[in-house]
Amino acid sequence: MSTTQSERLRALLEPLVVTTGLDLEEIKVTAAGKRRQLLVVVDSDEGVQLDAVASLSREISQALDAAEAMGDAEYVLEVTSPGTDRPLTEPRHFRRNAGRLVKLQLKERGELIARIMNVDDSGLDLEVPGVKGRKPKPARADFGEIERARVEVEFNRKGADLPEDDADDVADIDTYDENEEHDETDEHEHDENDEEA
């Protein structure tokens, strides 16, 4: 996508996205055979709800058609939230990932894997995980020294490390014992007309 097309699309779509309380993170046009795909990535501090994405997608489609911004060729519009693999480049990206483990490439110190504990105007307060039973250590990274950053996906984070609500959910999981008696009834509500059918 040319810079001019990117700038025109951003100028058209950003005000629309901002009115919904979201941030426009990325616009990307790619060719797929005779068609093109327009990817619009949005986010907010509270996350992005599916209903908001569906509504915004309709509004963006109408705006693109009215402005003829994509020309006459067919295109597929995809409005989505960022994945965990997207680079963290803005202070708001780090703020939205507070509590998560990140991999940072720092100008002077090299690679650092740490948990974001706090984000302020100048950088990050971090916690470097302890290795082999050692206690975690505090660290600091200013935005100016961060060259690259991404969220590290954690598959084995213990329930004690989860936010309180999530830890409760883990504790509430019952185990199924095949030797116990179980009620095999259907738990959805029945309508009187269900039995007549």
| Mean pLDDT rounded to a whole number for the chain | 82
Residue 197: pLDDT band with limits 50, 70, 90: very low
Residue 29 has a CB neighbour count (10 Å cut-off) of: 15
Give the pLDDT of residue 183. Answer: 33
Q: Does pTM surpass 0.85? A: no
Q: How far apart are the first and last CA of the chain?
A: 57
Instruction: Write the pLDDT tens digit of every residue in 66-97.
Output: 999 998 888 999 999 998 888 999 999 999 99
Instruction: Write the pLDDT tens digit of every residue in 137-156.
Output: 999 999 999 999 999 999 88
- For range 158-170, the mean pLDDT: 45
Joined tokens for residue 32: 């797929």
The residue whose two tokens read 């109408």 is: 62
Instruction: Write the pLDDT tens digit of every residue in 35-61.
Output: 899 999 999 999 999 999 999 999 999
Q: Which of 25, 20, 50 is nearest to 40 (CA)?
A: 25
Strand partners, 111: 105
Residue 32: pLDDT band with limits 50, 70, 90: confident
HSE at residue 154, side-chain half, CA atoms within 13 A, is: 16
